[in-house]
Amino acid sequence: MMLKVNVRHLAEHGLHLRGELPVAELDLGIDDELVRVEKPLAYDLAVELLHDAVLVTGSLTLPLDCECARCLKKFTTNLHLAGWALHLPLQGEDAVSVDNDCVDLTPFIREDILLDFPQRPLCRLDCGGLKDKTARKAKVVEKPAPDLWAKLDKLKLK
Q: Tell me how far, at minimum, the Cβ of 150 lies from Zn ion, in Å.
A: 42
* Environment class of 35 (CB within 10 Å of its CB; exposed 0-12, middle 13-18, buried 19+): buried
Q: Can residue 71 be called a binding residue for Zn ion (CB under 5 A)?
A: yes
Per CB under 5 A, the list member of 17, 42, 102, 127 interacting with Zn ion is 127
Q: Does 67 bind Zn ion (CB under 5 A)?
A: no
Task: Count residues near Zn ion (CB under 5 A).
Answer: 6
Q: Nearest distance from residue 135's CB to Zn ion, in Å?
A: 11
Residue 47: which residues within 8 A CB-CB, separation 6 or more? 5, 10, 14, 15, 16, 17, 54, 55, 56
* Residue 63 beta carbon to Zn ion: minimum distance, rounded to whole angstroms: 19
Cα 59 → chain centroid: 11
Q: Rule CB under 5 A: say whether 35 interacts with Zn ion.
A: no
Other C-beta atoms closer than 10 Å to the C-beta of 64 total 19
Q: Which residues bind Zn ion (CB under 5 A)?
A: 68, 70-71, 73, 123, 127
